[in-house]
């Protein structure tokens, strides 16, 4: 079982992007979907999980989050479209 995840949420294909990390991706994605977390994701309605990566160590997921946050928007979009070209909501894969 992975100890950490780096993930990207959005409101629509090529829409607003949010990069985060967590130890429990199903729970965190649910919180985003239901608007249970105050802040950026609820303000912009970021409810769709479009990318995630699993890591054996949580600190590796945090480091990947920090790295991606420094990327340009075009690079983030390319990352999503590499593995999820249709911008499908991946939340169902977690259940």
Q: What's the CATH code of the domain at 15?
A: 3.40.1440
Residue 19: C-alpha distances to residues 26, 53, 67, 77 (Å): 15, 11, 10, 12
Mean pLDDT within 73-81: 98
Residue 54: both structure tokens together: 């699993």
- Name the band, by pLDDT with cuts 50, 70 and 90, for residue 2: low
Mean pLDDT within 65-93: 97
For residue 28, being part of any structural domain is answered with yes
- Distance of alpha carbon 55 from alpha carbon 34, whole angstroms: 25
For residue 8, being part of any structural domain is answered with yes
pTM for the whole thing?
Answer: 0.95
Residue % of the chain over a pLDDT of 70: 98
Average pLDDT, the chain: 96
For residue 77, being part of any structural domain is answered with no
Split into its structural domains, the chain has a count of: 1
For residue 76, being part of any structural domain is answered with no
Predicted confidence at residue 5, as pLDDT, reads: 97
Residue 1 clears pLDDT 90, i.e. is over it: no
For residue 26, being part of any structural domain is answered with yes
Range of the domain at 36: 4-71+82-94
Residue 48: both structure tokens together: 């769709």
Cα–Cα nearest to 8, from 92, 85, 89: 89
């Amino acid at each position: 079982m992975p100890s950490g995840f780096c993930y990207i949420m959005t409101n629509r294909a090529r829409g607003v992007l949010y990069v985060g990390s967590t130890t429990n991706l199903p729970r965190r994605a649910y919180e985003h979907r239901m608007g249970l977390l105050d802040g950026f994701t609820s303000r912009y309605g970021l409810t769709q999980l479009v990318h995630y990566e699993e890591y054996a160590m949580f600190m590796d997921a945090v480091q990947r989050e920090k790295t991606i946050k420094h990327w340009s928007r075009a690079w983030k979009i390319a990352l999503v479209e590499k593995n999820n070209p249709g911008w499908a909501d991946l939340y169902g894969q977690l259940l």
